[in-house]
Amino acid sequence: MTWNEWEQAKAEAAERHAARTRLNQLPTGTGGSSRGDLVVHQDDLGAVGHDAFVLHGHLGKQADIAGAGMSKNGAGSTMQAAAALKSHHFATGPVMESAVELWTTRTKSLLQACAHISNHLDFTKKSHAKDDELIAAELRGRDGSAAPVSRLNEYFK
């Protein structure tokens, strides 16, 4: 398969996928808000943050092809193979070297994204918990107990 055939096959696959993409919407006339309010629970944030943390750990351990089988010089087995192929003038050597460098760059970017997601969601969860505590402290029932957050909606009707 030539490069142009590969590019054409990718473009056709993307077109087929785009044709099937749809947005989930609330059915009209079902009551409630017509804008589909976003609701996020503390547990949801924690679960996504935890999953990002777990993915970061697994990816960091298993995706390091540049460091696998490291020699005394600090080159991994794939880079050693690329150097050997390159020294014997095989075209595969430089290509393999480029592939490892690209993989390493992309892996590091993905690791940074996972860390950012995990850290941001942990921060968001803690921040919203503090906000909830402040709101509860400001809104008290007749008996002095904190008003539940679910009653806030009644004040805006």
What would the pLDDT profile of 135-149 be if each residue is shown by its tens digit? 666 666 667 676 666
Q: What is the pLDDT of residue 58?
A: 85
**pTM (2 d.p.):** 0.49
What would the pLDDT profile of 34-54 be if each residue is shown by its tens digit? 444 556 666 767 778 788 888
Classify burial at 79, counting beta carbons within 10 Å of its beta carbon; exposed 0-12, middle 13-18, buried 19 or more.
buried
Cα gap 120→45, rounded to integer Å: 10
Residue at token pair 């150097």: 83
Residue 74 above 80 pLDDT? no
Specify the 3-state DSSP secondary structure of 86.
helix
Which residues are CB-contacts of 64 (< 8 A; sequence separation ≥ 6)?
A: 76, 104, 107
Q: Is residue 44 within 8 Å of residue 123, measured between CB atoms?
A: no
